[in-house]
């Protein structure tokens, strides 16, 4: 019966390399997955809270909310609050720059998982070729009295490395695409946040540029009316 010990004893050093790469890929996947999960927030509720605070004139509260919230949308909003008085084109360029930086931050070490998913099957194939070569050398050395025991170690070695390469590569390949989907969702959240922040900034500036209405009391209207009547006389 095949056991883990059997694989480790017959897999050779190439098996250890494949397993080490698998452990690295697993650690990176869980670290990235946890980071991206914590970065996902309810963008609509978060921005509504920010807009309410700024509309009340409480910018410090809005900044504090950004600091207490984890993720790229919160950091993007914090920059928007600090640069809300700048020109629209400059404001939009600043948002695009911070969004690009956040995407690079989210994709950090993602290439490691992809690299492992592509390399480990090739290492498995390399093990298969080395195992076949080992069996052929044994057959040549013992010819014409070749026995099964002479060629099976090489074939077993080749099969074990191939299996190990696929066992590591398949989960890494799936994990890579899971992380890509998570990142794509966060990118959509940032795009939505950028659009909402631009619209809110434009509304704030348009309201601040509107003339303040002059409120005239009843007594003042009466005084103005008497003055107008005197002029007509």
- Is the residue at 89 inside a domain? yes
**N residues, the chain:** 233
Q: What is the pLDDT of residues 132-168, one digit of tens each?
A: 888 888 777 766 766 777 678 888 888 889 999 999 9
Confidence of residue 218 (pLDDT cuts 50, 70, 90): low
Work out how many domains the chain is built from and give that number.
1
In this structure, is residue 81 part of a structural domain?
yes
Contact 36, 103 (CB under 8 A): no
Q: Is residue 223 part of a domain?
A: no
In this predicted model, which residue has the larger pLDDT, 218 or 48? Answer: 48
Q: What percent of the chain has pLDDT over 90?
A: 39
Residue 215 pLDDT > 50, yes or no?
A: no
Q: How far apart are CA 34 and CA 28, in angstroms?
A: 10
pLDDT recorded at residue 179: 95
pLDDT tens digits, 57-104: 888 998 999 999 999 999 999 988 888 778 888 888 888 898 999 999
Confidence band for 214, pLDDT divided at 50, 70 and 90: very low
Residue 220 inside a domain? The answer is no
Q: Between vectors from CA 10 to CA 171 and to CA 154, what angle results, nearest 5°? A: 105
The helix or strand, by DSSP H or E, that contains position 42, with its residue range, turns out to be none
| Domain-embedded: residue 131 | yes
pLDDT-derived band at 219, boundaries 50, 70, 90: low
Top mean pLDDT of 85-99, 108-122, 214-228 is at: 108-122
CA distance 11 to 212: 82
| Section 207-214 average pLDDT | 51
CB 153 within 8 A of CB 10: yes
The answer to whether residue 176 sits within a structural domain is: yes
Q: Are 117 and 176 in contact (CB under 8 A)?
A: yes
| 149, part of any domain | yes
Asked if the structure places residue 38 within a domain, the reply is: yes
Domain hosting 101: range is: 4-210
211 vs 133: which has the higher pLDDT = 133
Q: CA-CA distance, 160 to 131, in Å (whole number)?
A: 10
Question: Which range, 1-5, 38-42, 135-139, 184-188, has the best average confidence (pLDDT)?
Answer: 184-188
Of 146 and 182, the structure prediction assigns the larger pLDDT to: 182
Q: Please give the pLDDT value at position 17.
A: 93
């Amino acid at each position: 019966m095949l056991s883990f010990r059997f694989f480790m004893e017959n897999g050779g050093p190439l098996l250890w390399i494949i397993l080490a790469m698998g452990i690295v890929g697993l650690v990176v996947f869980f670290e990235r997955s946890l980071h991206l999960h914590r970065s996902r927030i309810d963008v609509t509720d978060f921005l509504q809270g920010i807009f309410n605070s700024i509309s009340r004139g409480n910018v410090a509260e809005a900044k504090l909310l950004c600091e207490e919230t984890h993720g790229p949308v919160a950091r993007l909003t914090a920059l928007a609050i600090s640069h809300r008085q700048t020109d629209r084109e400059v404001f939009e360029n600043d948002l695009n720059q911070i969004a690009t930086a956040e995407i690079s931050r989210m994709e950090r070490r993602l290439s490691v998982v992809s690299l492992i998913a592509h390399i480990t099957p090739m290492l498995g194939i390399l093990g298969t070729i080395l195992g076949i070569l080992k069996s052929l050398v044994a057959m040549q050395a013992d010819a014409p009295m070749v026995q099964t025991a002479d060629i099976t170690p090489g074939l077993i070695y080749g099969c074990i490395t191939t299996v190990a390469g696929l066992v590591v590569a398949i989960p890494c390949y799936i994990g890579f695409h899971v992380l890509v989907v998570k990142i794509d969702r966060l990118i959509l959240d940032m795009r939505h946040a950028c659009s909402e922040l631009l619209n809110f900034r434009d509304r704030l500036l348009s309201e601040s540029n509107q003339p303040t209405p002059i409120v005239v009391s009843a007594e003042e209207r009466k005084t103005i009316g008497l003055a107008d009547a005197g002029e007509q006389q």
